Amino acid sequence: MAALSDKFFASLQKYAMIAPGEDVLVAFSGGADSVCLLDLLNTYKDRLCVSLRAAHVNHCLRGEESDADEAFARAFCEERGIELSVLRTDIFKTAKETNKSIEVCAREARYAFFSSLHPDKIATAHTGTDAIETFMMNFSRGASLHGLASIPPVRGNIVRPLISFTREETELYCKENQLSFVTDSSNLTDDYTRNRIRHQIMPEMRSIRSGFENCALRCIDSLRIEDDYLRLETKKLLERYKTPDGLFTKDFGNLHKAIRCRLIASYIAENTDADFESKHIYELDANISNDGYAVTLPGAVCICVKDSLIHIVRESPSSLSEEPVRICKNDLHDLIFNGFRISFSLKDGPHNSHFKFNFIDFCKIDDIIEIRTRCPGDRITLAKRNCTKSLKKLFNEEGFPPDLRPLLPVIADSRGVIWAYGAGPDKSRLADTASDKILIIDTESAKNE
Question: Order of strands, edge to edge, in the sheet holding 335-337?
Answer: 335-337, 340-348, 437-445, 360-361
Name the more confident of 52 and 106: 52
Q: Are 330 and 363 in contact (CB under 8 A)?
A: no
CATH 3.40.50.620 domain span(s) along the chain: 2-220
Question: Is the per-residue pLDDT at 216 higher than 60?
Answer: yes
Q: Measured between alpha carbons, how far is 444 from 270 in angstroms, rounded to an integer?
A: 38
Which residue, among 176, 229, 189, 223, has the nearest Cα to 36 in the 3D structure? 176
Cβ-defined contacts of 215-218 (< 8 Å, 24+): 216/132, 216/135, 217/128, 217/131, 217/132, 217/164
Question: Is the per-residue pLDDT at 319 higher than 70?
Answer: no
The domain over range 244-317 is classified in CATH as 3.40.50: no
CATH 1.20.59 domain span(s) along the chain: 244-317
- Give the tens place of pLDDT for each residue, 260-276: 999 999 999 888 877 78
Which of 28-37, 57-66, 190-199, 236-245 has the lowest average pLDDT? Answer: 190-199
Q: What is the CATH number of domain 2-220?
A: 3.40.50.620
The model's confidence at residue 29, banded by pLDDT at 50, 70 and 90, is very high
Question: Is the per-residue pLDDT at 1 higher than 70?
Answer: no
Q: Are 329 and 369 in contact (CB under 8 A)?
A: yes
Name the more confident of 439 and 446: 439
Q: Measured between alpha carbons, how far is 59 from 46 in angstroms, rounded to an integer?
A: 32
pLDDT, mean of residues 350-375: 79
- Give the tens place of pLDDT for each residue, 285-315: 999 988 878 887 876 678 888 889 998 876 5
pTM: 0.67
pLDDT in the model for residue 317: 41
C-alpha dist (Å) from residue 213 to 36, 127, 163, 418? 19, 11, 12, 43
Assess whether the previous peptide bond of 153 is cis (omega < 30° from 0): no
pLDDT in the model for residue 395: 83
Q: Measured between alpha carbons, how far is 367 from 58 in angstroms, rounded to an integer?
A: 41
Name the more confident of 41 and 250: 41
